Structure formats: C-alpha cells, structure tokens
Homo-oligomer: A and B are copies of this chain.
Amino acid sequence: MQRPLIFVTNDDGITAPGILFLVSVAKQFGDVAVIAPDKPQSGMGHAITINSTLRINKSNFHDVLIEYACSGTPVDCVKMAVNKILPRKADLVLSGINHGSNSSINVIYSGTMSAAIEGALESTPAIGFSLCDYGIDADFSQARKEIEKIIAETLKNKLPNGVCLNVNIPKLKADELKGIKVCRQATANWVEEFEERKDPYGRPYYWLTGKFVNFEPESTDTDEWALANGFISVVPTQCDLTSHKNIEPLKKLLQ
C-alpha cells in the first residue's frame, strides 16, 4: 500500500523550529512534501498574491521528498502545492506548528490556520497546530503524543469535506497536559493600541500592539477555557461565514 502523502506548511517560514518539529512527526506517517514561506508571514490571514508575482525555490533544509521555499503567503503555498508541485492529491495538509496561539478570534488573522482552511477548501483533511509559546526556545515535543494521536485519527477517519482542525497546545510539560478537548471558538476580540514612534526625520510611524479580550470567560465549552485549564483544544473549523440565523430577520427588513 502506498504511504500517505503529507503536505506541510506554516506561516513562520520554512526554517522555523515549529515546522522542523512538525515535519519530524509527519515523517512517521508518510512521505512528506514541504512548501512553506521563505520568510515570516504571521498575521497574513487568508491573503493571496494577486497583484505581484510568485517565486518558488528548491530547498533542502528538511530531509523530505519534495521541498520548496515560496515567496508568497501560507495560502499561496497551499495553492502552489495543490496546483503546481505535488505529484498527486495529498492525503493530509499539516500547518504549523505555529509559534503562538491561534485560538478563538486569532483564527482569522492566522496564516497557519488559513493554510489549513485552504487545504479543507481543496477537499483535503487538514490540521493547523499552534503552541501557546512565542519564545524561540519553545518546546514543541511536550505534546508529541497528542499530536501523533490527532494526526493518526485524521489519516484513518478523514474529516468531513470542507472541515479542518484548529489545534492549540498550552505551554505545559507533558505530564501537566490534561488531554484533548474538542470545543468551539470562543467569542473574543483584540483591543489594539498603536505605539507611536518617530523616525530619524521626525515623522511618526506606528507599531500595532494589542490585548486579547475573551468575551465569555465563564463558558466551559470554548477553546480558551480548554487552554486555560490545561487541555489541548481542537476546534473543527470551516469556512461558511454566513450567519444563518439572521437570514430570515433580514429578509423582513430588506426584501
């Protein structure tokens, strides 16, 4: 039987520690193809490159079947893989492991999760992994057992068409992790502050900074609750943005 073809990408760039670890896990399960951004692409959301051109360059940072660094966004990498590079349809798309959380509302700003969502749009089972630790010395191996379980079950059972998994891992030691919790995206947003600085010519420029606000800290069925309580959160994620329950009320107003 043919080994599964596993496509791996991320948004922190092809040499980030997180993708290095994820590739090492993926190799246990199949042949691996890596097409990942040639530079950090955090916060790129579902951006695609349509007003400029794309480059891909062969790379050999990872010891895998196929490897390219791409000048574009994480979603560009998925589209490039699916339509240009992969010899056949991948059995699984893995994205990450992201350096930092992609729980709750972060899912829409996240290049990591957008790559997983794009995989799902291509009808391929897809998983985005994120570790709630921005440190350069973040230890991705503490949740290795649970990451392997999630990958194994996804390869075995697939996922419903159009659905991917948003997996977030709290910054804990292996023996402190309480297990896996399947949950929903918490309702939240970011309250931003723009830090103003002056350039050498006296002109202002700004850095975007912000504070995450969970609007429902008391709810126990959310990813934020799971993470705060020592669980790895898994949110089945899809791309229908329709607010179905508001269709009928709006018809009365507008039609």
Query: Chain A: residues with CB nearer than 8 A to chain B?
Result: 40, 42-51, 53-56, 73, 75-76, 79-80, 82-84, 105, 107-109, 114, 117, 121-122, 149-150, 153, 157, 159-160, 162-163, 165-166, 179-185, 187, 189, 191-194, 197, 203-208, 234-244, 246-247, 250-251, 253-255
Assuming the contacts A43-B50, A149-B254, asked whether A82 and B192 have C-beta atoms less than 8 A apart, the reply is yes
* Alpha-carbon distance A79/B122, docked complex (angstroms): 31
Contacts of A250 in B (CB 8 A): 165, 182, 234, 236
Please state if B194 and A54 are interface contacts (CB–CB under 8 Å): yes
Please state if A53 and B207 are interface contacts (CB–CB under 8 Å): yes
Assuming the contacts A192-B79, A194-B84, asked whether A255 and B182 have C-beta atoms less than 8 A apart, the reply is yes
Contacts of A183 in B (CB 8 A): 247
Cβ-neighbour of A206 out of B42, B84, B253 (below 8 A): B84
Contacts of A56 in B (CB 8 A): 206
Nearest CB on B from A103, distance (A): 11
Contacts of A108 in B (CB 8 A): 46, 114, 117, 239, 241
Cβ-neighbour of A105 out of B43, B80, B189, B239 (below 8 A): B239
Interface residue SS majority, chain A: mixed
List 6 A-B pairs, minimum CB-CB distance, nearest first.
A45-B46, A236-B246, A236-B243, A238-B243, A45-B45, A43-B50
Assuming the contacts A163-B246, A239-B108, asked whether A76 and B208 have C-beta atoms less than 8 A apart, the reply is yes
Please state if B53 and A157 are interface contacts (CB–CB under 8 Å): no
* Alpha-carbon distance A237/B240, docked complex (angstroms): 9
**Nearest B-chain residue to A162, judged by Cβ:** B187
Count chain B CB atoms within 10 A of each CB in A47, A105, A159 and give the residue with the most.
A47
Cβ-neighbour of A44 out of B47, B153, B185 (below 8 A): B47
Cβ-neighbour of A236 out of B47, B204, B247 (below 8 A): B247
Please state if B121 and A189 are interface contacts (CB–CB under 8 Å): yes
Nearest CB on B from A202, distance (A): 13
* Alpha-carbon distance A62/B10, docked complex (angstroms): 40
Nearest CB on B from A73, distance (A): 8
Cβ-neighbour of A184 out of B84, B192, B244, B255 (below 8 A): B244
Please state if B246 and A54 are interface contacts (CB–CB under 8 Å): no
Please state if A254 and B54 are interface contacts (CB–CB under 8 Å): no
Please state if B239 and A235 are interface contacts (CB–CB under 8 Å): no
* Alpha-carbon distance A165/B84, docked complex (angstroms): 35
